[in-house]
Chains A and B, each alone.
Chain A
């Protein structure tokens, strides 16, 4: 039996068949037929954002917190160009996103029609795959393929461009199981020979470390579980990238904290001094490696990644294992157990003794302030007062993001949504809305900087409309703090355009949106203010006035090695050399 229907109806039908429950979008001329279909059904909920960039970041938040693909619906031209930042963001952080964009009718393509844009051309380099659908008969199959590509292998964003005449015309619906998807099938099982080599190294390593990344989260909750089992069973220390926080619990025995540019002293030293580095679903990003030729000079490196192009891209790997983290870890455990669960006990004991010495440096210590609020303290109190709650955290980009990563503890995967690879200011607020839509009863907090937050603050309207009680916890230093920090370190304290001038009154702004505003400017009142935020049944904008010139430490200045770290009160002038200065 074949089903005939209009293209617009096919879009909705295909989304239903894909199990989509929520679409984030914004209408316009070129998608009106689809909006008409969305209107006439109740299975799929449409969330009307205030700006298309908000739609895609909300979809990212939804996807990261659920493990399901996020879906975005936008119109042609400006609607499509407004999602480009989010598409790149999702590509960098491997987030499954399906963007459906309207396009001018096929017979007008190429004529510079009203709101025409070369959407597939613009998004070709930043999607995993994109399609311009010129025939209604191909539409349903293409949408099914789009979901398959977005969610298979290393996840990522895809886009389907749908001309308006294709939406109006009638064609044959392609049922989901009939859609051709077979040729894109990245392998998930790792090579047993390579896995055995890794196990051999695990058995003898004296100074091992697990270096985990977003791939563990993307692989699904089972992968995090297996990582925990492997870490407990071997007793090897675990560190993680920004993207991987929560895969191994912050309260776990083996936890070293985050690594990298603003990672902990113990994590970075362990990476530098280890003799076996086991990279699980991370990609040797430059925030992690620091200076390449000084990166972990004496270690054998194993790398588990589903994307073959990640392996040997920047760092030479001794044991490459291409496959899905969950599948590979399962096999690693199986083989390691079957060979008698061997580890080098004496070596490991010495290693932990060394690690304890590094931990004793207490690199995240900070002094309380009598006059204002230390941003670190604000996050530490937020952590203390929300511990054990059903909590999801999103962030914007800047110092506050790093402090959130350092001072919040994540016990589970999918609880931490942040823009890592692209570093997109304006990500956090819409992402928090997306997370809250997926988890209506959970506590969702966006740890924000005042400057980033302003970039997509219109999305408070969306939060209000859909009664998403998101808490906007703004560390307001009245500075583009991270930029200012770099200018202090690198540009002789010439603070060029890094002041947040003419800021709005955030409490009044909250009132204008119809939500609650709270301001706090001293450490004595902080706990009560946070409690007030948590108790409020609705969105809150929390204006936390913090120390304006606080720097984020530890810091590995660009171009330096892991063991060349700045701690809190170091002399910061001239720490970045000429060759480091050109790096970002």
Chain B
């Protein structure tokens, strides 16, 4: 539609993102948000998402620069292109936010999460679980005669896939950290 020949595609200046705003296509984006490490910061960011009805698929936060007093929030969110643009603009204008990077559009990135799976069972199922764990490069970090705890790092899709496979084999509990992500290259 851009009769004005304005460049398409997203950039850090989210308002210049002129992709079709009427697109109803739901996209999933991973945002890396650099924030002051202060009390209440997480509440502020989560409050923004809940107040404006944005989705949080996953969210992780930890201090990454002690001297610089900075934390990094990695949030995986989904919405139409217009909503994603809004989310970034809303984050960028918060006083405690220093930078917002949309890792999904800014180039290739690596995404990893850590997950723990407790699988209960005996006999065939137990052996099958162990075999699959090997294929997925999951480590056994605890075992009893009738249970394992597997540890695995991977993309959220890989974690999902492993959980699906473990379900019929006696999966009783899953703990996931949520996604941490970095852009590839330097």
Task: Show the binding face of A for B, using Cβ within 8 Å.
Answer: 120-121, 124-125, 128-129, 132, 149, 153-154, 183-184, 186, 197, 300, 307-309, 311-313, 316-320, 322
Instruction: Specify the chain A residue showing the minimal Cβ separation from B90.
Output: A309
Cα-based distance from A320 to B82 in the complex (angstroms): 14
Q: How far is the CB of B111 from chain A (nearest CB, A)?
A: 26
In the complex, are the beta carbons of A312 and B4 less than 8 A apart?
A: no
**Cβ-defined contact, B92 with A308, below 8 A:** yes
User: Is B95 in the interface zone, CB < 8 Å from A?
Assistant: yes
* Cα separation A149 to B97 with both chains bound (whole Å): 13
B135, CB-defined interface residue at 8 Å: no
- Which A residues are CB-close (under 8 A) to B14? 308
- In the complex, the chain B residue whose C-beta lies closest to that of A186 is B93
Select A124's contact among B3, B47, B86, B98, beta carbons within 8 Å: B47
State which of A125, A129, A307 has its C-beta within 8 Å of the C-beta of B96.
A129
* B window 55-97: CB within 8 A of A: 82, 85-86, 89-90, 92-93, 95-96
Which residues of B, 88-120, contact A by the 8 Å Cβ criterion? 89-90, 92-93, 95-96, 98
Q: Is B89 touching A311 in the complex (CB atoms < 8 A)?
A: yes
CA distance A92 to B103 in the complex (A): 32
Cα A316 to Cα B93 with chains together (Å): 20
Say whether, besides A186-B93, A308-B92, A311-B89, A318 and B47 are in contact (CB < 8 Å). no
30 CB < 8 A contacts A-B:
A121-B40, A124-B40, A124-B43, A124-B44, A124-B47, A125-B47, A132-B40, A153-B93, A183-B98, A184-B95, A186-B93, A197-B4, A197-B6, A307-B93, A308-B13, A308-B15, A308-B89, A308-B93, A309-B89, A312-B21, A312-B82, A313-B89, A316-B22, A317-B15, A318-B2, A318-B3, A318-B4, A319-B6, A320-B15, A322-B15
- Cα-based distance from A269 to B93 in the complex (angstroms): 34
Contacts A309-B89, A318-B6 given; does A121 touch B15 at CB 8 Å: no
CA distance A183 to B51 in the complex (A): 25
Residue of A nearest to B82 (CB): A312
- Interface Cβ pair total, 8 Å cutoff: 59
How many angstroms between the C-alpha atoms of A307 and B92 in the bound complex?
A: 10
Query: A121–B82 contact, CB under 8 A?
Result: no
The closest CB in chain A to the CB of B94 belongs to A129
For the complex with contacts A128-B95, A320-B16, 10 further pairs of A-B residues with Cβ separation under 8 Å are A132-B40, A183-B98, A307-B93, A312-B17, A312-B82, A312-B85, A312-B86, A318-B6, A319-B4, A320-B15
Hey, which chain A residues are within 8 Å of B4, CB to CB?
A: 197, 300, 318-319
Instruction: Report A-chain residues with C-beta under 8 Å of the C-beta of B82.
Output: 312
Q: Which of A121, A313, A317, A322 contacts B43 (CB 8 A)?
A: A121
Contact across chains for A313 and B86 when beta carbons are under 8 A apart: yes
Q: How far is the CA of A307 from the CA of B44 in the complex (A)?
A: 18
Closest to A152 in B: B95
Residues of B within 8 A of A300 (CB): 3-4
- CA gap between A512 and B47 in the complex, in Å: 46
Q: How far is the CB of B25 from chain A (nearest CB, A)?
A: 16
A448 to chain B, nearest CB (A): 32
- B-chain residues with CB within 8 Å of residue A308 when the two chains form the complex: 13-15, 89, 92-93
> Are A312 and B15 in contact, with the CB atoms below 8 A?
yes
Residues of B close to A120: CB separation below 8 A: 40
Contact in complex: A309, B93 (CB < 8 Å): yes
Partner of A125, one of B15, B51, B89, B98: B51
Docked CA distance A322–B21 (Å): 18
Q: How far is the CA of A316 from the CA of B85 in the complex (A)?
A: 12
Q: Mark B4-21, 1 if CB is under 8 A from A, else 0.
A: 101000000111110001
B-chain residues with CB within 8 Å of residue A129 when the two chains form the complex: 95-96
Give every chain A residue within 8 A of B92 (Cβ-Cβ): 308-309
Q: A308-B92, A309-B93 are in contact. Are A316 and B44 (CB under 8 A)?
A: no
How far apart are B20's CB and chain A's nearest CB, in angstroms? 9
Q: Which 10 A-B pairs have the closest CB atoms?
A: A309-B89, A311-B15, A129-B95, A316-B21, A308-B15, A308-B89, A320-B15, A309-B90, A125-B47, A184-B95
Bound CA span A129–B13, Å: 22
Q: How many angstroms from the CA of A120 to the CA of B39 in the assembled complex?
A: 11
| Bound: A209/B185 CA distance, A | 48
Closest beta carbon of chain B to A53's beta carbon, Å: 22
* Chain B residue at smallest Cβ distance from A153: B93
Nearest CB on B from A84, distance (A) = 15
Output the least CB separation between A102 and chain B (Å): 19
Least CB distance from B157 to A in Å reads 31
Which A residues touch B90, using CB under 8 A? Answer: 309
What residues of A have a CB within 8 angstroms of the CB of B17 in the complex?
312
Residues of chain B lying within 8 A (CB to CB) of residue A317 = 15
Closest chain A CB from B117 CB (angstroms): 36
Interface residues of B in 12-52 (CB under 8 A from A): 13-17, 21-22, 39-40, 43-44, 47, 51
Q: How far is the CA of A125 from the CA of B15 in the complex (A)?
A: 23
Distance A543 CA – B120 CA, assembled complex (angstroms): 79
Q: Complex: how many Å from CA A313 to CA B86?
A: 6
Give the shortest distance, in Å, between B106 (CB) and chain A (any CB). Answer: 17
Whole-angstrom distance between the alpha carbons of A318 and B47 in the complex?
31
Residues of A contacting B6 with CB < 8 Å? 197, 318-319
Q: Which residues of B contact A186 (CB under 8 A)?
A: 93
Chain A residue numbers with a CB within 8 Å of B85 are 312
Determine the chain A residues whose CB is within 8 A of the CB of B86 once the complex forms: 309, 312-313
A313 to chain B, nearest CB (A): 6
- The 8 A CB mask of B135-161 against A (1 = contact, 0 = none) is 000000000000000000000000000
List residues of chain A with CB within 8 A of the CB of B43.
121, 124
| Cβ–Cβ < 8 Å partners of B93 in chain A | 153-154, 186, 307-309
